[in-house]
Amino acid sequence: MKKKNLPAAGAEAKQAENRKEAESRRKAENRREAENRRKAENRREAENRRARNRNALRGGSYSLLISAVVLAILIAVNVFASALPANLTQYDISSSQLYSITSNTKVVVNALEEDVTIYWIVQSGEEDDIIENLLSRYESLSDHIEVVKRNPDVYPTFAE
Amino acid sequence: MIAVLKHELRLYFHSLTAYVFGAFLLVFVGIGAMLYNIQAAVSNFEYVLSFSCLVFVVIVPILTMRVIAEERRQKTDQLLYSLPITTTQVIVGKYLALLAVYLIPLAIICLYPLIFAQFGEVYLPTSYGSILAFFVLGAALIALGVFISSLTENQGFAAGIGVAVILFNYYSVSLAEYVSSTAFGSLVVLCVAVLILAAVINHLTRNENLAYGIGFVLIAGMAVLYFVDSTKFEGLVPDIMTKLSLFERFYAFVNGVFDMTAIVYYLTVILFFLFLSVQSLEKRRYN
């Protein structure tokens, strides 16, 4: 500021001060506004996140539940299928009819009048597929035949 | 569904995928036929199939790796969501296209027993029964591959995981002999499985309380069962591994038993994994 304008200087200074004050007020206001905006944004975001989580909970639990139901149904179907008698589910397609029972055997088995128990002595997990298949066929052929598995590890003296 | 099927078929036959898949399958079955039927002069074609089912470990992931993963990477899956058909129809359409690609080399393989029958006695029921089982086995593995592809948007990742899972399934019966068959070992393995399940629940529902709750209840239930009757747990894990093996059930057909329970098992596996793929696609709507 120049020296010769001194009388006016006071008024000018006041004006400048006023201006500065107004400016700082405006700035503070802006700051407050920005802060408010940020807060609102945060709030909105949190709400969004909560809504998303709510969606995830609803969708996810529905999806899990229905998957569990489907899995249970499919397991039940499998258990039911494996519980059916062997002559309904397993067909012999081997060239020497390895798994089929001849008509002579069928005549003998159908004429049985006493109960017959076939003891199959085998370690658990070592069962032969062919024998297992054949025995289950015998079992389903007649009510008088019962096949019982005996594990020699569990009953070591059974065969004596 | 038909539109998706047509589009996928065009995609497979305009790229190399279908040809690479078919070539691999035919080469492997051809090598098997040469080894068993020509060099060893065995007239059983089913042995060739039991030899060549190992090839699924490589070719099924090649076929299925891109089916959904690529859609995600290119963001074209958003178009699938906006189609006027349900997600189920999209998945079924894609799956049928994969089956068609798989059936073409199989139709060629179907001629082999007839060709061999010209030069000797081939027992055809076993051969064709085994080919049918081979088809259903492959179909089940393809369904598994579709599900794995729907989990990620990286093709390579989908293929890697697919190879690992199918290889594990292939060897699971031999591995079952080395897995701990004691009751405590089974309990530990099942607890780990429950923890994984809880992690999946947490990922899907974004709700930790639910995941902790279900995990805790299941583990507590198993612990109680273990202390009441620990014999129930003996040999449980090897048993489960043998039951889950897709390949083991196929060998019954090769041995000359057409086992309907195995067919039912394969069909349920197909249904289950296609269902999971639908759920996996639906997941993007809410998560």
Q: Is the Cβ–Cβ distance between B269 and B246 less than 8 Å?
A: yes
In-domain check, residue B240: no
The pLDDT of residue A134: 82
Whole-angstrom distance, CA of residue A37 vs CA of residue A11 = 38
Long-range (24+ apart) CB contacts under 8 A made by A137-143 are A137/A86, A137/A87, A137/A99, A137/A100, A137/A101, A138/A101, A138/A109, A139/A86, A140/A85, A140/A86, A140/A87, A141/A87, A141/A101, A141/A106, A141/A109, A141/A110, A142/A109, A142/A110, A142/A112
Task: For residue B253, count other CB atoms closer than 10 A to its CB.
Answer: 25
Q: How many domains does chain A have?
A: 2
Whole-angstrom distance, CA of residue A153 vs CA of residue A151 = 5
In-domain check, residue A71: yes
Q: Average pLDDT for residues A137-141, to the nearest whole number? A: 82
Please indicate, yes or no, whether residues B123 and B60 belong to a single structural domain of this protein. Answer: yes
When computed from its CA atoms, the radius of gyration of chain B, rounded to whole angstroms, is: 21
Please indicate, yes or no, whether residues A57 and A116 belong to a single structural domain of this protein. Answer: no
Q: Is the Cβ–Cβ distance between A59 and B230 less than 8 Å?
A: no
User: Nearest Cα to B219, choosing from B245, B189, B249, B246?
Assistant: B189
In-domain check, residue B241: no
Please indicate, yes or no, whether residues A62 and A9 belong to a single structural domain of this protein. Answer: yes
Please indicate, yes or no, whether residues A14 and A76 belong to a single structural domain of this protein. Answer: yes
Count Cβ atoms within 10 A of the Cβ of residue B234 and give its class: 0-12 exposed, 13-18 middle, 19 or more buried.
middle
What is the amino acid identity at position B237? V
Question: Which DSSP string do the residues of B67-130 spell out, in sequence order?
Answer: TTHHHHHTTTHHHHHHSSS-HHHHHHHHHHHHHHHHHHHHHHHTHHHHHHHTSS---HHHHHHH
The pLDDT of residue A7: 57
The pLDDT of residue B286: 75
Whole-angstrom distance, CA of residue A148 vs CA of residue B243 = 22
The pLDDT of residue B183: 84
Q: Which residues contact B56 (CB under 8 A, 6 or more apart)?
A: B137, B138, B141, B166, B170
Give the range of the structural domain holding residue A78, as residue numbers without chain letter. 3-82
β-pair partners for A149: A120
Please indicate, yes or no, whether residues A73 and A97 belong to a single structural domain of this protein. Answer: no
Confidence of residue A50 (pLDDT cuts 50, 70, 90): confident
In-domain check, residue B91: yes
In-domain check, residue B117: yes
Please indicate, yes or no, whether residues B169 and B267 belong to a single structural domain of this protein. Answer: yes
In which element (H, E) is residue A146 found?
strand A145-150
Please indicate, yes or no, whether residues B23 and B47 belong to a single structural domain of this protein. Answer: yes
In-domain check, residue B51: yes
Whole-angstrom distance, CA of residue B128 vs CA of residue B254 = 10
The sign one gets for the Cα dihedral B95, A82, B171, B194 is positive
Backbone angles phi, psi at A121, to 5 degrees: -90, 110
Cα–Cα distances (Å) from B88 to B14, B271, B275, in that order, read 25, 11, 8
Please indicate, yes or no, whether residues B20 and B88 belong to a single structural domain of this protein. Answer: yes
Q: Check CB contact of B19 with chain A, cutoff 8 Å.
A: no
More confident site: A159 or B131: B131
In-domain check, residue A136: yes
Please indicate, yes or no, whether residues A61 and A109 belong to a single structural domain of this protein. Answer: no
Percent above pLDDT 90 for chain A: 22
Please indicate, yes or no, whether residues B112 and B222 belong to a single structural domain of this protein. Answer: no
Give the range of the structural domain holding residue B280, as residue numbers without chain letter. 2-176+246-286
Q: How many domains does chain B have?
A: 2
The domain boundary, picked from A51, A82, A113, lies at A82
The pLDDT of residue A4: 53
What is the amino acid identity at position A99? Y
Please indicate, yes or no, whether residues B141 and B226 belong to a single structural domain of this protein. Answer: no
Q: Which of A53, A89, A125 sits opposite B259 (nearest CB)?
A: A89
ipTM for this model: 0.86
- Which residues, given as ranges, of chain B have pLDDT below 70? 287
The domain boundary, picked from A62, A82, A102, lies at A82
β-pair partners for B18: none
Tell me which range, A51-55, A107-111, B121-125, is most confidently predicted by mean pLDDT: B121-125
The pLDDT of residue B234: 82
The pLDDT of residue B133: 95
Task: For residue B73, count other CB atoms closer than 10 A to its CB.
Answer: 14
The domain boundary, picked from A82, A113, A140, lies at A82
Please indicate, yes or no, whether residues B30 and B165 belong to a single structural domain of this protein. Answer: yes
By CA distance, what is B238's nearest residue in A? A125
The pLDDT of residue A1: 47
User: Taking CB atoms and an 8 Å cut-off, how many pairs form between chains A and B?
Assistant: 105
Q: Average pLDDT for residues A132-148, to the nearest whole number? A: 84
More confident site: A88 or B90: B90
Confidence of residue A101 (pLDDT cuts 50, 70, 90): confident
Whole-angstrom distance, CA of residue B174 vs CA of residue B107 = 32
Contacts of B205 in chain A (CB under 8 A): 56-57, 60-61, 64
Please indicate, yes or no, whether residues A7 and A78 belong to a single structural domain of this protein. Answer: yes
Please indicate, yes or no, whether residues A44 and A13 belong to a single structural domain of this protein. Answer: yes
Please indicate, yes or no, whether residues A60 and A93 belong to a single structural domain of this protein. Answer: no
Please indicate, yes or no, whether residues A73 and A118 belong to a single structural domain of this protein. Answer: no
Please indicate, yes or no, whether residues B107 and B212 belong to a single structural domain of this protein. Answer: no
Q: Average pLDDT for residues A2-26, to the nearest whole number? A: 77
Chain A residues touching chain B at CB-CB below 8 Å: 52-53, 55-61, 63-64, 66-67, 70-71, 74, 77-78, 81-82, 84, 88-95, 98-99, 124-125, 129-130, 133
Please indicate, yes or no, whether residues A68 and A95 belong to a single structural domain of this protein. Answer: no
Q: Which of B253, B255, B286 sits opposite A55 (nearest CB)?
A: B286
Please indicate, yes or no, whether residues A29 and A78 belong to a single structural domain of this protein. Answer: yes
Mean pLDDT score of chain A: 84
Question: Which DSSP string do the residues of A57-114 spell out, in sequence order?
Answer: HHHHHHHHHHHHHHHHHHHHHHHHHHHS-HHHHEEE--TT-TTPPPHHHHHHHHT--S
Please indicate, yes or no, whether residues B24 and B73 belong to a single structural domain of this protein. Answer: yes
CA distance A71 to chain B (A): 7
Whole-angstrom distance, CA of residue B106 vs CA of residue B26 = 8
Please indicate, yes or no, whether residues B107 and B84 belong to a single structural domain of this protein. Answer: yes
Please indicate, yes or no, whether residues A113 and A98 belong to a single structural domain of this protein. Answer: yes
User: For residue A2, is pLDDT > 60?
Assistant: no
How would you classify the pairing of strands A145-150 and A116-121? parallel
Please indicate, yes or no, whether residues B70 and B159 belong to a single structural domain of this protein. Answer: yes
Please indicate, yes or no, whether residues B155 and B127 belong to a single structural domain of this protein. Answer: yes
